[in-house]
Structure 1
Amino acid sequence: MKQFLKYTFLIFCLGTVVSCGGDDDICESGEGTPRMKIKFRNAGGQLRTVDSLYLRVDYGNRIVDFGRTVNADSLIVPLRVDESPFTDLYFKTRRTEVESKVRVNYTTTSKYVSPGCGVKKTYQNVNSQLVTPGKVTAAANGQNFIENEDKTNLFLTF
């Protein structure tokens, strides 16, 4: 009986070691869904740094407050990953001022990446419109697709 328990325990230990996952458990190398890159301009069209910026994003079931960013020359913002064709972004530079609303429209495609990452969404036909002006006076489109986070997709004029 002791021999049986020894072998059973040994087989259990070997099975546990062999069943451990490899590198598929972690989503690495930018394989996940890319985020949108936003840069800022002044009224003359030159790139600028915004001293204080508050951002909120409407993800459909809830609005996420990203809080305050200080001395930002760009932002990387995750878009919705459900079947919605748009994401609403709300910007302001001071806590008490009226928010500017920017709607980002797009179409999406999905691609299976790995067990750890799941499905990766890519965004095509990305275009933005300023719905409610405030401190943001204009929104200009950049690259019209999002496959990685290298290129700027939206320029906001403050």
Structure 2
Amino acid sequence: MKYFKFLIAVCFVGMLFSCGGDDDICESGEGTPRMKVAFKSQQTGKLRILDTLYVAVDYGAGKVQLGKLAAIDSRLIPLRVDDSPYTDVYFRLRLNGPESKVRVNYTTKSTYVSPGCGVKKYYENLSSALVTPNPVLNLEAGQNQIENEDKTNLYLVF
């Protein structure tokens, strides 16, 4: 019985020290970057803040609502991580208002990061097309590659 208690104690201490380290989670910005979208006014051509914005994205199995944000000057949008050459993004200013469809075309490049993060995708040669206008009236290109989330990749003109 004495050895059994010792064996249980050794197993418990071993489990405490065998827990994973920092590479189990991908939390230091090593994941696939998102596309940064900002907004401009058609009259002035200057950056503007939107009262509300609803965003939905088609990741290949139908539209997924990303939700509503209020009083924003930019939005980060995750793109598809499969081998599709495009992602369809939908924008609305009101809950039941008209919806604009923007198709974002790109090529991808993959890089292995770590066992916890897996593979990170980079997006290159970004180009966008306004498929359905209203409320978005026009598009302006920003940086045409996504390596991090610092630079704006697309401007929506309202």
TM tier, smaller: over 0.9
> What residue number does 2:4 align with?
5
The alignment partner of 2:10 has SS state of helix
C-alpha separation in 2, matches of 1:41 and 1:28? 32
Counterparts of 1:9-158 in structure 2, within 5 Å, are: 9-43=8-42, 44-158=44-158
C-alpha separation in 1, matches of 2:19 and 2:52? 46
Q: Which amino acid aligns with 1:73?
A: D
C-alpha separation in 1, matches of 2:80 and 2:103? 12
After TM superposition, the runs of 4+ consecutive aligned structure 1 residues lying more than 4 A away are none
Query: Please, what is the CA RMSD of the aligned residues?
Result: 1.4
Structure 1 window deviating more from structure 2 (12-21 vs 130-139): it is 12-21
C-alpha separation in 2, matches of 1:16 and 1:52? 49
Number of residue-to-residue matches in the alignment: 157
CA drift at 1:19? 1.7
CA drift at 1:3? 4.2
C-alpha separation in 2, matches of 1:8 and 1:67? 52
C-alpha separation in 1, matches of 2:67 and 2:17? 45
Q: Which runs of 5+ in 2 are unaligned?
A: none
- The one-character-per-residue Cα deviations of 1:79-122 (angstroms, maximum 9, x if unpaired) are 11111111101111122322110001111111111122121111
TM score, norm. by length of structure 1: 0.92
C-alpha separation in 1, matches of 2:93 and 2:55? 9
Q: Which runs of 5+ in 1 are unaligned?
A: none
The alignment partner of 2:52 has SS state of strand
Q: Which amino acid aligns with 1:8?
A: L
Amino-acid identity (%) = 58
TM score, norm. by length of structure 2: 0.92
